[in-house]
Every structure is written in structure tokens, then in C-alpha cells.
């Protein structure tokens, strides 16, 4: 099977019930004409803000082997390397379903209020020693990301790891039925996307939808320390799933955390997993990452694989971009440490990030600086959930808090006056005051929901690092 194309046009036609033009073979699948690799199948999705059909010609020019579309744009003929379907999103789902049906890979899925992507990446690494492992890219976890990921899975993959996400009830169940996992992990249940739910218990119900596509002989890995553990167990039992593994610090956990020594660059973990005592290094720092590593090992054990061999891979892991990546930057004022958590935020993940900041020791006269943006989708609970972070900032030893967004006004008012560095409505307005105040040895945490746009602050710090590095070269005439 090795060496065969990922998809032939005949297979695409059979999967989607489409109509083909000229025959072609594709080695990849893409929905973004700007990122086409030669040999890709370009799927022309029609979204609320764009229509992929407008970029079909550009995709072919860039080297696309063929196109999946539901109308022929100007200049594109039916005799070209295309497959015409009634709807391209449904066509993509059909392609993902066909990929799952033809695959002999053992499939795992991950969901949870926080920690999905880092746990998915840790599971990818843990399974790699046992065979060819494929995992969904980034956070492609929604109604088009999951089928796209399935459609990209190599024919000869032996393991597949898929992240499934949601912000409304009813979204994960169809994804689970598409992915059909043998093992599923729920990392945690927290007040994330609470704007769309009446309670956190309802969020637990929505996360439990990951079991919808599982057979009774499958296994679920659940967070025993979470208040909604029993509720999750009930969902599994009602679906006839009897292989229920738990992880956490509770003495009754199947994967139990015994000791965790956290440092800025990682952790040392002692755990007991399925009756086996393990000591391992974890390259992703933070107690929350250590807990999630237990979930990964429980999943590995559920697949009948060697948990010690899997744990040995964790030392090579690192925090992901925007999710705790640690960088040393040399600014004009001197070196600082950046903790980039700019991708997203919730009360639970902000507290986890603050624990990483607390574990980071500033150098010299440096300080711990928290640059926090609004946490979105919290509904009427939003103002209170922001104010309630004040004790966590104090406990983490934060010296200065730069706060962004209307909801962060409450936190600004709740922290001690000496901690208040300022409050701004938009992230870009905070850049200049922050840059002016930085000094050598500072440790700077940047975190906020994606919609609050904290990434420009991170990019401004990196740009200042590049400028400081280039300035001596310019002075020397290089």
C-alpha cells in the first residue's frame, strides 16, 4: 500500500457520489488555496466570509492535482481535473468517512474544556514508537476540521489521534460518529463557552458526546478529580462502555499522580499507571500538563501498549506556540522571558498559566508581569469570573498586571493598586506602555481569548528583539 496516492479521482467519486472530469491522483488535501502543496486535492468550501470556488484557478496554478467543487467557476471546465458534488462540505465529510472506513489504524480522540491540543500532541508522541502515527494538525477539531483531518490520514497509518471541539451542545456527537474512536480522552470540564450553556454540568454532557461514535468495547479516560466525573461515568455506562479509566491525584485513579516537581522548562513526574510505577520527565511545564500526561498514558495502556515506553517520549515535548511556549528575548532594555499563552483563555487556563508564571524566577531586578486579555464566551458570569482571578494573581507573585478588554476592567479594580499597570480597551493600546516599562530580567506572560487579539503584543515583543539584534550589525556597517 505504501507509495500509493492518498486519493485517486475514482476513489473521490465513489466516496462523494460526485462526477469527475479528467483523472488525477492527490497526495494531500487542502481547503486553503494559499497553502496548496503540489499534488494536493483542493476542496472549495463555501463559508460565511469566503467562497473557495473563487480560488480554484489559483489553487490549480499553485500545483493542486485536482479540485472538489459544487459549481464550475468561470474558466474552469468539467473536463479539467475536478470532481463535482452537490455540496463541498458534505463532500469533505464523505471523504473523511471513506478515509475512516478504509483505515486499519487504531483511533483515539481527545476533547475537554482546556488542554485538548497539547494532550493530542502528547498522545501523538506517545504512540509514535509503536507504529506510524497520524494526528490532526493544530486545532482542526470542528465540523470541517475533523473531516479534513480524517481525509488527510495516510492509508498505512497504524494509529490516528483526533481532537474534537465544540462551543455548543450537539457538535461533538456527529464528529465522534465520523471518527469512531476506540479510545477517548476527556481532559477536564470547566466553565468554558459557558455563555452557551445553562451550567457547567451541561458542558460535561456536551463533552461526553465524544462517546457517541464508540463501540461498547471501547475505552474512555476521564478526569477523576473533576466535580463532574460521576456524570461522565454515567454517560459511559448508559452507552454500554465498561472500560472506564480515570486519571488524577485521587487514590483510586487508574493513572495516579504521586509527585510532580515543576520547573520553568518542564516537570519530573512520579505516577502509578495501571499498577505500574513510573518516573519520567515532561518537557511541557505545569501541573496541568502532568495531569494530562496521565490521561495519555491511560489511553496508551487501554490500547494494550507499553506505558513506560510511551512515557519516555514526554521528555522531548515542548509547550506549543501560543499555549505556553517560552522564549528568551533580548530587548534594548535587556533580556526578558516571554511566556506566550496568546492563543486562547478561560478561567481554568488562566490559572494554569499563572502557575507557570509563579514557577518562573525573574533575574536581577526583573518582575513577574501578567498581560491578560478578556476571556470570551462566559455569558453573564463573565464579569465575576474575571474579578475572581485577583487572588490568583496575588498568589502567583505578579508584580504588574496589564489588562485588556472591557471585562478585564473588573479585575483591574480588584487587584491591589500597586499591581495595576493599566487597563486598555484594545490590545494594541497596551503595547507602547508595556514596552516602555520593561526592564532586564522581567518574565512576561501574555494570555487572552483569541477574539481579544493578544497576539499583536507577542509579535511586538518579538519585533523588538529582532530590532535590538540588528542594531549592532547596522552600527558596524554589516
* Residue 282 grid cell: 515532561
Cα end-to-end span (Å), the chain:
53
Chain mean position to CA 324: 12
Provide CB contacts within 8 A for 200, sequence distance 6+: 189, 190, 191, 194, 227, 228
Class of CATH domain 103-316: alpha beta
Q: Are 462 and 470 in contact (CB under 8 A)?
A: no
Query: What's the confidence (pLDDT) of residue 216?
Result: 96
* pLDDT by 10s per residue, the chain, length 478: 446 899 999 999 999 999 999 999 999 999 999 999 999 999 999 988 889 999 999 999 999 999 999 999 999 999 999 999 999 999 999 999 999 999 999 999 999 999 999 999 999 999 999 999 999 998 888 999 999 999 999 999 999 999 999 989 999 999 999 999 999 999 999 988 888 999 999 999 999 999 999 999 999 999 999 999 999 999 999 999 999 999 999 999 999 999 999 888 889 999 999 999 999 999 998 899 999 999 999 999 999 999 999 999 999 998 878 788 889 999 999 999 999 999 889 999 999 999 999 999 999 999 999 999 999 989 999 999 999 999 999 999 999 999 999 999 999 999 999 999 999 999 999 999 999 999 999 999 999 998 999 999 999 999 999 988 776 554 444 4
Q: Which residue is listed with cell 499534488?
A: 39
Q: What is the largest CA-CA distance in the chain?
A: 73
Look up residue 4 and give its DSSP letter.
S
Query: What's the confidence (pLDDT) of residue 87?
Result: 96
* 167 φ, ψ (degrees, to nearest 5): -135, 5
Domain segments of the chain: what residues? 7-88, 103-316, 325-473
Q: Classify domain 7-88 by CATH architecture.
A: 3-Layer(aba) Sandwich (3.40)
Query: What's the confidence (pLDDT) of residue 477?
Result: 47
Query: What's the confidence (pLDDT) of residue 319?
Result: 82
pTM of the model: 0.89
* Residue 385 grid cell: 469570573
Q: Which residue is listed with cell 509579535?
A: 459
* Domains 7-88 and 103-316 agree in fold: no
Query: What's the confidence (pLDDT) of residue 473?
Result: 52
Q: Are 235 and 207 in contact (CB under 8 A)?
A: no
Instruction: Say how far apart CA 225 and CA 249 lie, in whole Å.
Output: 7
Query: What's the confidence (pLDDT) of residue 238?
Result: 97
Instruction: Say how far apart CA 348 and CA 350 lie, in whole Å.
Output: 6
C-alpha closest to that of 92 among 165, 178, 24, 166: 178
Q: Classify domain 325-473 by CATH architecture.
A: Alpha-Beta Complex (3.90)
Q: Which residue is listed with cell 483542493?
A: 42
* 435 φ, ψ (degrees, to nearest 5): -60, -35
Amino acid at each position: 500500500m505504501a507509495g500509493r496516492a492518498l486519493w485517486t479521482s475514482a476513489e473521490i467519486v465513489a466516496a462523494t457520489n460526485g462526477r469527475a472530469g479528467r483523472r488525477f491522483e492527490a497526495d494531500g488535501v487542502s481547503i486553503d488555496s494559499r497553502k496548496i502543496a503540489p499534488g494536493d486535492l483542493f476542496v472549495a468550501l463555501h463559508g460565511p466570509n469566503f467562497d473557495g470556488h473563487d480560488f480554484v484557478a489559483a489553487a490549480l496554478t499553485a500545483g493542486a492535482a485536482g479540485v472538489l467543487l459544487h459549481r464550475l467557476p468561470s474558466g474552469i471546465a468539467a473536463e479539467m481535473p475536478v470532481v463535482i458534488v452537490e455540496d463541498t462540505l458534505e463532500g469533505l465529510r464523505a471523504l473523511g468517512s471513506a478515509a475512516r472506513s478504509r483505515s486499519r489504524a487504531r483511533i483515539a480522540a481527545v476533547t475537554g474544556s482546556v488542554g485538548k491540543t497539547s494532550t493530542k500532541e502528547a498522545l501523538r508522541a506517545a504512540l509514535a514508537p509503536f507504529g506510524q502515527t497520524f494526528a490532526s494538525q493544530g486545532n482542526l477539531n470542528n465540523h470541517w476540521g475533523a473531516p479534513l483531518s480524517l481525509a488527510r490520514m495516510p492509508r498505512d497509518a497504524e494509529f490516528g489521534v483526533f481532537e474534537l471541539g465544540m462551543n455548543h451542545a450537539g457538535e461533538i456527537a456527529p464528529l465522534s460518529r465520523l471518527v469512531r474512536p476506540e479510545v477517548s480522552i476527556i481532559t477536564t470540564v470547566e466553565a468554558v463557552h459557558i455563555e452557551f450553556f445553562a451550567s457547567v454540568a451541561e458542558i460535561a454532557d456536551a463533552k461526553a458526546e465524544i462517546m457517541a461514535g464508540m463501540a461498547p468495547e471501547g475505552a474512555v479516560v476521564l478526569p477523576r478529580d473533576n466535580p463532574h466525573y460521576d456524570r461522565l461515568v454515567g454517560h459511559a455506562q448508559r452507552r454500554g462502555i465498561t472500560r472506564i479509566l480515570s486519571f488524577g491525584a485521587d487514590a483510586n485513579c487508574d493513572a495516579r499522580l504521586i509527585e510532580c516537581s515543576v520547573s520553568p522548562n518542564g516537570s519530573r513526574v512520579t505516577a502509578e499507571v495501571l499498577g505500574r510505577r513510573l518516573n519520567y520527565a515532561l518537557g511541557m511545564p505545569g501541573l496541568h500538563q502532568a495531569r494530562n500526561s496521565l490521561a495519555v498514558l491511560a489511553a496508551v495502556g487501554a490500547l494494550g501498549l507499553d506505558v513506560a515506553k510511551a512515557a519516555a517520549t514526554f521528555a522531548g515535548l515542548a509547550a506549543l506556540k501560543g499555549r505556553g511556549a517560552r522564549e528568551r528575548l533580548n530587548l534594548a532594555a535587556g533580556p526578558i522571558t516571554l511566556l506566550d499563552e496568546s492563543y486562547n483563555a478561560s478561567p481554568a487556563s488562566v490559572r494554569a498559566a499563572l502557575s507557570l508564571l509563579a514557577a518562573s524566577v525573574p533575574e536581577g531586578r526583573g518582575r513577574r508581569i501578567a498581560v491578560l486579555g478578556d476571556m470570551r464566551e462566559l455569558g453573564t458570569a463573565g464579569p465575576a469570573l474575571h474579578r475572581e482571578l485577583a487572588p490568583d494573581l496575588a498568589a502567583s507573585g505578579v508584580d504588574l498586571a496589564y489588562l485588556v478588554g472591557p471585562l478585564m476592567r473588573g479585575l483591574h479594580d480588584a487587584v491591589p493598586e500597586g499591581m495595576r499597570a493599566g487597563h486598555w480597551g484594545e490590545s494594541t493600546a497596551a503595547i507602547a506602555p508595556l514596552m516602555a516599562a520593561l526592564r532586564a530580567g522581567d518574565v512576561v506572560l501574555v494570555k487572552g481569548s483569541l477574539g481579544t487579539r493578544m497576539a499583536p503584543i507577542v509579535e511586538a515583543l518579538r519585533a523588538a528583539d529582532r530590532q535590538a539584534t540588528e542594531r549592532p550589525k547596522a552600527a558596524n556597517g554589516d
